[in-house]
Amino acid sequence: MISQKIYLRYNRTMKFRNRMFYFACILLATISLLSCDTTEETLNIESTIVASINEAFDNIPTPTPIILATYTPLPTYTPFPTYTPTIIPTITPTYTPLPTYTPFPTYTPLPTYTPFPSPTPTPIVKVSTMLDKIKNSVVKIQTNSKKGSGVIIRENGIVITNYHVIAGGNFITVTFHNGSTKSGTLIASDISRDIAIISLFGEGYEHLTLGESQIPEIGDSVYALGYPLRGNYTVTAGIMSSTVTLSKGPYKYIQTDASLNPGNSGGPLVDEYGNLIGINTSRMETSEGRPVQGVGYALLVKDQEDYINGLIK
């Protein structure tokens, strides 16, 4: 910037000197034309002009030389190094295969719910109610020499009892729970099974039905019904101890601890629901004829149903 200012100043000075020189020349020429008659005057005028011009030149200030700034050359261009691109390795992605497609199983509709039939609950029957209901089915059997018990098994007056109760008798009298009596007729008997079938006249008798019971299990409650001893209606309770065979034959008997006394023979043994399960037959006695307590026997009716029905026909 400083060098440029010095240069401009020098340039103006030179232009001013040139103008003054031209002006002096023009003035000198003009005077020469106007003063052609007098040589001396002309010379004086010329001298005056020359002197004036010289004086003017002398008064022009000596221009200060312009010192141009020393040129500092630009630094030698150093080319940038050739760009060598860094090779970025191509990353090959590791291919992870998709899991093998597992097809969904074909939808199988649930089967229509079929409710299981609920077993009809066995009503809980009070024992006293059950015994009261069946008491009219139990009868007292008397002959001219013996007495025992029996049970009506059909509404037409069919009674089953032990054979030894009526054996040797000339007549049979049947007494009901209300005290009324009827004559009975022996229609069939089996000494080996110790059973006898008696028929009563009439219809509509209260009775226990063969075939409604199942073989009881050990420990089940049982009840012995009849007219023992003095002939009064009684009930004794116990359990089923086991099923046994006696020396009388291959027939099964229920062993029970329910008390069986003289007069109970031929009467019914029922389960807790009042079903006929046995015919009271005997009790165990010692060799002296004394009863063994808690051991009595009743013919298992379930095994004899078909045979008894055959006798009745």
DSSP secondary structure, 127-155, as one string: HHHHHHHHGGGEEEEE-SS-EEEEEE-ST
Give me the pLDDT at residue 39, please. 47
Which residue among the candidates 194, 213, 271, 282 is catalytic per the annotation? 194
pLDDT digits (tens, 9 = 90+) for 111-146: 776 776 777 666 677 899 999 999 999 999 999 989
**What average pLDDT does the structure give for the chain?**
82
pLDDT > 80? residue 106: no
Among residues 179, 187, 300, which one has the least CA distance to residue 249? 300
User: 149, 213, 265, 282: which is the annotated catalytic residue?
Assistant: 265
Residue 60 binned pLDDT confidence (cut-offs 50, 70, 90): low
Overall pTM > 0.85: no
Which pLDDT score is estimated for 182? 96
Residue range 65-84: mean pLDDT, rounded: 65
Higher pLDDT, 216 or 225: 225
Q: At what angle do helices 39-59 and 2-34 cross, to 10 degrees?
A: 170
265 catalytic per annotation: yes
Angle, CA of 117, 122 and 127, to the nearest 5° = 180
- Among 278, 273, 276, smallest CA distance to 297 is for 278
At residue 76, does pLDDT exceed 80? Answer: no
> Containing H/E element for 50?
helix 39-59
pLDDT digits (tens, 9 = 90+) for 220-279: 999 999 999 888 999 999 999 999 998 878 899 999 999 999 999 999 999 999 999 999
Mean pLDDT of the 87-97 span: 69
Identify the architecture of domain 127-312 in CATH.
Beta Barrel (2.40)
- Does the annotation mark 303 as catalytic? no
Tell me 183's DSSP state.
E
Q: What is the rounded CA–CA span in Å between residue 184 and residue 166?
A: 11
